[in-house]
Structure 1
Amino acid sequence: MSTGGKKGDLRFKRVLLKVSGEALMGSAQYGIDVETVGRIAREIKQAVEIGAEVCLVIGGGNIFRGLSGAAQGMERASADYMGMLATIMNALAMQNALEGLGVSTRVQSAIPMMSVCEPYIRRKAVRHMEKGRVVIFAAGTGNPFFTTDTAAALRASEMGCDALMKGTQVDGIYTADPKTNPDAERYEELTFMDVLSQDLKVMDASAVALARDNNIPIVVFSIHEPGGFVSVLNGTGRSTIVKSSAA
């Protein structure tokens, strides 16, 4: 697929890309697949090259998921902090892949870890993006009991993003799981209230409510579609957009 697009014709200029930790596993059952991380990094580089300002939040489920740890008897806050540390590992892996492609990158962590990355400072992050750097936000919100989805909505709000891009396993939101139900239909558009009232599993409710309150559309697309990220930025790719009101 052609990546298409040129500077000036983007539907969304400044975006936060949310990627699950599981997306970094590739075909493996655990951990980080370097080839998969490299492919996603190339998608991000293409977006930067056509003028998009990009920041990222990456989950940690490929290494450790706080809720899973809590379900096995761990104290929830401790399990969540472990999950936050997993997101830092993923952020450093993505930084390494992006800088290997010549993309200037900064990692900012909500849990200070000065030896490996910057602490999260909002004004500094905004300045990095204005200079064309990709900023990767790690360690969630820095607080237990909040998911990386909520962290993504929070950082998108703080950065003044035009959209929150949710890279998933499928090319949008469907009436049912398209992998198991061939009759499932894809939504083109939904409102925030549609997602909340129908309990659609796009992002957790607090993330959706935060995006709604700050009027930041959520765009759900396939992170595995070659050129998909740039196509969605251009407004031509397959996706579902969640916004305040339907067209």
Structure 2
Amino acid sequence: MQKIFVIEDDENIRNLVKIALEGYGYQVLSFETAEEALELAGKEKPDLAVFDLMLPGMDGLSAIRLIRGREDEIKNIPIIVLTAKDKEYDKVVGLDGGADDYITKPFGVLELAARIRSLLRRAAEQQPVHETGKIKMGGLSVDPAAREVVMNGEPVSLTYKEYELLMYLIDNRTRVVERDELLNKLWDYSADIETRTLDIHIRTLRQKLGEEGSRYIKTIRSVGYRFVIPQENENKEN
């Protein structure tokens, strides 16, 4: 049985989410504070966590950053953030802080369950796609077995979804990958729902890759994105 942590200070929402997710067959541990969840994370080893951003004591964003900075397997669990703020800035901050997806309050439990299923399925299906060793492209190096990314000798800390997005673009670098395809393949929901999710992930992925991020991940206007190797494309149009 897959285990989910739900960290939400509103008791009504916390209980509603717990009951709903248990109805889908998950084991759910709910917490009012981030401190409580972090204290038990190593022992309970959740498969996924749902964090409210606004929490008493330690806020959700700080807690997520601590999880991503761990040295054990907990650092790579999928994380969904809940936020009452329907502003792009808060979504960017959540994703850039280490979350893999977000849902804005008020939300439906059916949507939350769908997002959870998608992230858990992708995490279970994720296998090293290049068994021959590291991928080396210009200044970018990827070790799929260790899920490690290095740019110009510096390690790059990516969330689960950012890493998955990067690898999908790399694997399909011989063509332009359409937006709809990325949404359907990586998020499993239709392109007319929260399409800004993809834009935000592309933006944060580029930022984390540094100054060369936009040279590796090209926007093809009105179509989608393509991964290119800058050294081989210095004279091509952006």
How high is the TM-score relative to the length of structure 2?
A: 0.30
| TM-score of the two chains, using structure 1 as the length reference | 0.29
Compare relative contact order (CA 8 Å, sep 6+) and give the higher one, 1 or 2: 1
Rg larger for: 2
